[in-house]
Amino acid sequence: MNLDIVTQNNLAIVRIVESEINSEKSPEFKTELLRLVTEGYINILVNLGKVSYIDSSGLGALLFGRRQVVPLDGDLKLTCLSDNVMAMVKIAQLDRVFDIFDTEEEAIESFI
């Protein structure tokens, strides 16, 4: 899976450079999220700006990441969701679980 990861302090910004997060790519995505947490990044921002499609396994990977950081007093937040991705998030009612931001800047500020 093609990811651009930038870290600063205890925040990891994960920019997904893929058009889809599906059952093929989700296991690698989960592995990367777990690696970040084991390296001490308990606040993770996932930028989905390039993603036009996400399936249930992709949503599951995001939930997996959140379950790793919340017990450590961290959070996983989402930004730059396309209309299609936002629709899937809402269908799964995950807009009640994740903090979702329009811009990466707004999301970064929310961690401060």
Task: Decide: helix, strand or coil at residue 52.
Answer: coil
Q: Residue 16 forms beta bridges with which residues?
A: 3
Average pLDDT over residues 91-106: 97
Query: Which pTM does this prediction carry?
Result: 0.95
The bridge status of strand 11-16 relative to strand 43-47 is parallel
pLDDT of residue 1: 83
Q: How far apart are CA 87 and CA 68, in angstroms?
A: 25
Average pLDDT over residues 73-87: 97
Question: Percentage of residues in the chain with pLDDT exceeding 90?
Answer: 96
Q: How confident is the model at residue 9 (pLDDT cuts 50, 70, 90)?
A: confident
Q: At residue 10, does pLDDT exceed 90?
A: no
**Which domains, and CATH codes, for the chain?**
3-110 (3.30.750.24)
Q: At residue 63, does pLDDT exceed 90?
A: yes
Task: Indicate if the alpha-carbon torsion angle 46, 22, 95, 39 is positive or negative.
Answer: negative
At 5, the amino acid letter reads: I
